[in-house]
A and B are shown apart, each in its own frame.
Chain A
Amino acid sequence: MQVSLSNNHVVIISIVCGLLVLSAFFAGCTGESAQPAKPSATAAPAAPVVTAASAAEPVKTAAPAATTAPAVAATSTPVQVYTYAEGNVVAYTAASLKGVSPKLAEGFAKMYPGHTVVFNLDGTQNLKTQVQNGAYADVFISASNSYTAELSKGGYFTEGTVKTLTTNYVIVILPANNPAKIQTLADLAKPGVKIARAAKTVPVGTATDAVLVNLARSTYGADWNTSIYTNTVTYETAEPSVATKVALGEVDAGFVYESTAIAAKPGTYTSISIPKKDNYLQTYTIGVLKSSSSKGPASDFENFMLSDAGQQILKDYGFRPA
C-alpha cells in the first residue's frame, strides 16, 4: 500500500519535472532566436577606436587581458577567436573570393587598425539559406543579384548599404597539361571529355548556364550544347571546388570565374576565354545586415571594400571594376 502511494507521487513529480525541463527548453529557444550572445551590447553605431579597449572588458569573449589603455586598440590580436567584440566583422562571402580574402583582411586591418574581419566562405546560395534561418553575420557579399534581391525583399539588409562591389566573367580552365587536348570551345563537345561545373543554384552555375545558351545560339549550335551537358560529370556546390577538380587533373575542363584563372599560380591552369558578347557578367554586391551588432565596423569594412585600396586588391586578383 505504502509503496504504491509513493510511486504515484514519484510519477507526478517526474511529469512536473519533465514539463519544467520542456518549458525551460522552449523558453530558451525563443529567447535566443533573434540574437546570439553579445558581450559588447554597448555597440554604438560609430565605433571610435578607443571603445575597443572598453569592450575588451567583458570576460565572456576570450580576448587577451583587458587593459584600459587605448594603446591596446592599435594592436588587437585575438584573430583566432570568433567573437562578436567591437571591431570584429563577420563577413559572409561568396566562395569565389577565397583566394583574395587574406589580402582583403590585411588591407582592412591596415586601413582601420584595431578592426579584424572573419570570412565565412561558401556558395552564395548556402550563405543566403543560413542567413534566412538565423545565422549571424555583419556583412554579406553576394555573387548573384537575384540572391541579393531575395535578401533585400526579406528585409535582411540595412537600408542604403547594398552596393555593387565588383564584377566577373566566366572562363573555361583546363589542367596545365591539357590531357584532352582541348584547343577551342568546340572541342569541349568531343565525346569522352569530362567537364566540371557548378550546380545551377550556385551563382557561377547560373552564369555557366547563360553562357552555354549564348554560345550555342550564336556560334556552336544546339547539338554542341547537348554534348556539353552529356560531358558534364559533376555539379559542384561552390566555385573553388570546380577549380580544385581541374587542378587535380581529374576532369578535362571546368567553368569558373576569370578571377580564379588570373589569380592562380602560373602553370596551374590553361584557360580558354569566352567571347565577351556571349559571356555573362556576374555582379557582386556587398551589404550590411540589419541584425548586425557591430554596424560601425561593418560599415567601415564596406567602405574599405569600395575604396581604392580594396578595389585595387580585387583587381590584382582578377576581379573587374564595379
Chain B
Amino acid sequence: MTSSSAPGNIPRAFTLAAAAVLVAAVILYLALPIIALFLRTTPEQFLDSLANPEVRSALILSLTTSVISLFVIILVGTPFAYVHCRHQYPGKVLVDTIIDLPLVLPPAVAGLALLVLYGRMGLLGQYANMLGIPIAFTTLAVIMAQVFVASPFYLRQAKSLFDQLDPAYEQTARTLGASPARVFATVVVPLTAGGLVSGAVMTFGRALGEFGATIMFAGNLPGVTQTMPLAVYVSMAGDFNAGITISILLVIISFAIMIAVRLLAKTEVPHA
C-alpha cells in the first residue's frame, strides 16, 4: 500500500514503462536483422565459405579500397573544410549545397554520372583514354566511386566541428608567431580530433558498403572491382551461404571498427 500512496507515482511509472518499451523496440528493430544473419548459418558453413577465394578477394579488395578512399577524403577534406569555414567567399552557400549533393543522390545515379564523365567515351575520360589511362572498370574507379558517395559524411562533420571551434585558440597561436599551417596542424586538428575520427568512421562505413555506384562505374570483376557488397549480391543467387558469410564478415568488421573508435576517441570540442 505504501507504493500507491504518493500521488503522481502511477503516471511516472507509466512514462518510465513507455520509455523502456520505446528503447527496447528501437534496439530490437536494429539488432534483430543482424542476429538473424548469424542464426541462419552454422560455424562450419561460415568457415567453409571463408576458404572460398572469391570471398577472400572481395574482403581484401573492400578493405583496401575503403581505407584508401578514407585517407583521400581525410587528407583532402580536412584542409578543405577548414578553409571553407574560416573564410567568407561568394558562393559559399552553393558550395555547401554541392558538398551535400552525393548524400541525396541515389548511388546508381552517382555511378552513371561518374561513368558518363570518366568513362572512355566520357567528357573527361576520353582524354584520359587518349593518354592510355583507363579509369572505368578498374580498382581506381572503385576508389573514385567510394570517395564520391562517402565524402559528404566526413565533410559535414568536419565543417560542423570547425564552425564550433572557438577561433580564439587559433588567434592566440598566431599572435605567438605560428604560421597558419602550423596552427592548423598543432592546434586545430588535436582539438577536433575526436569528432573528426567519428566522422571518419561514418565515412569508412559508407565507403565499405557502397554498391550502386560501384557496379555502374567500376563493373563487377572478382579480384579487381568486386567489393563485398557486390559479392553478396552476386552470390545470393547461386551460393546463398557465401552471401551470408560475406554479410556476417561485413557486420563484424563494422562493429569492430566502431567499438575500437568509441573506446579510443572523445568527441568534445572546447568552446570558450
Given A10-B13, A126-B237, A201-B238, A21 and B222 contact (CB-CB distance below 8 Å)? no
Q: Give the bracket for the number of chain B residues in contact with chain A.
A: 35 or more
Q: Which residues of B contact A123 (CB under 8 A)?
A: 237
CB distance from B137 to the nearest CB of A (A): 4
Instruction: Decide yes or no whether B257 CB sits under 8 A from chain A.
Output: no
**Residue A6 CB within 8 A of the other chain:** yes
**B233 an interface residue at 8 Å Cβ cutoff?**
yes
Answer whether residue A199 sits at the interface, using C-beta atoms and an 8 A cutoff: yes
One of A10, A17, A237 near B220 (C-beta < 8 A): A237
- Distance from B1 Cβ to chain A, minimum over Cβ atoms (Å): 10
CA gap between A299 and B235 in the complex, in Å: 32
What CA separation (Å) do A152 and B184 show in the bound complex? 66
On whether the beta carbons of B20 and A194 are closer than 8 Å, the reply is no
Q: Does B109 contact A (CB under 8 A)?
A: no
Contacts of B226 in A (CB 8 A): 235
- B259 close to chain A: CB less than 8 A: no
Residues of B close to A248: CB separation below 8 A: 115-116, 119, 121
* B16 within 8 Å of A (CB atoms): yes
Contact with B along A222-254 (1 / 0, CB 8 A): 000000000011111100000001001111000
Interface majority SS (helix, strand, loop, mixed), chain B = helix
* A residues near B240, Cβ cutoff 8 Å: 129
Interface membership of chain A positions 168-207, coded 1 if the CB is closer than 8 angstroms to chain B and 0 otherwise = 0000000000000000000000000010100111100000
Interface flag for B248 (CB, 8 Å): no
A79 to chain B, nearest CB (A): 24
Cβ–Cβ contact A5 & B233, under 8 A: no
Quick check: is B5 within 8 A (CB to CB) of the other chain? yes
Contact of B17 among A14, A129, A199 (CB under 8 A): A14
Q: How far is the CB of A115 from chain B (nearest CB, A)?
A: 30
CB pair B236–A233 under 8 Å, yes or no, is no
A9 proximal to B (CB < 8 A): yes
Q: Are B137 and A250 in contact (CB under 8 A)?
A: yes
**By the criterion CB–CB under 8 Å, are A22 and B120 in contact?**
no
Listed residue (A235, A237, A249, A250) with the most chain B CB atoms within 10 angstroms of its CB: A250
Rounded to whole Å, the gap between the CB of A11 and the closest CB of chain B is: 8
- Indicate with 1 or 0, residue by residue over B8-38, a CB within 8 angstroms of chain A CB atoms: 0100110011001100110010000000000
Q: Does B2 contact A (CB under 8 A)?
A: yes
* Residues of B with C-beta under 8 A to A13: 13, 17
User: Which chain A residues in 124-153 approach chain B with CB under 8 Å?
Assistant: 125-126, 128-129
Chain A positions within 8 Å of B136 at CB level: 250
> A219 at interface (Cβ–Cβ under 8 A)?
no
Is A81 close to B, CB under 8 A?
Answer: no
Whether a CB of chain B sits under 8 angstroms from the CB of A218 is: no
Instruction: Report whether A234 and B219 are in contact in the complex, using a CB–CB cutoff of 8 Å.
Output: yes
**Interface pair B237/A201, CB less than 8 Å apart:** yes
Q: At the interface, yes or no: A155 with Cβ under 8 Å from chain B? A: no
For window 1-39 of A, CB contacts with B under 8 Å fall at: 1-2, 5-6, 9-10, 13-14, 17-18, 21-22, 25
Q: Which residue of B lies closest to A177 (CB)?
A: B121
Tell me whether A250 and B121 are in contact (CB under 8 A). Answer: yes
A126 touching B21, Cβ below 8 Å = no
Q: Closest CB of chain A to B231's CB: distance in Å?
A: 11
| Beta-carbon contact of B234 and A201 below 8 Å | yes
Q: Mark A58-79, 1 if CB is under 8 A from B, else 0.
A: 0000000000000000000000
Scoring B residues 214 to 226 as 1 if CB is less than 8 Å from chain A, else 0, what string do you get? 0100011110011
Residue of A22, A129, A234 touching B236 (CB-CB under 8 A): A129
B contact residues around A233 at 8 Å (CB): 137, 219, 221
By Cβ-Cβ distance, the 4 closest A-B pairs, closest first, are A234-B219, A125-B237, A14-B20, A201-B238
Taking Cβ atoms with an 8 Å cutoff, the residues of B that contact A are: 2-6, 9, 12-13, 16-17, 20-21, 24-25, 28, 115-116, 119-121, 136-137, 215, 219-222, 225-226, 233-238, 240
Selected A-B contacts with CB under 8 Å, 15 pairs? A2-B2, A2-B9, A9-B3, A10-B13, A10-B16, A14-B17, A21-B24, A200-B238, A201-B238, A233-B221, A235-B220, A237-B215, A248-B119, A249-B120, A250-B136
Partner-B contacts on A (CB < 8 A): 1-2, 5-6, 9-10, 13-14, 17-18, 21-22, 25, 123, 125-126, 128-129, 194, 196, 199-202, 232-237, 245, 248-251
7 more A-B contacts (CB under 8 A) besides A18-B20, A194-B137? A6-B4, A6-B9, A14-B24, A123-B237, A125-B237, A234-B220, A250-B120
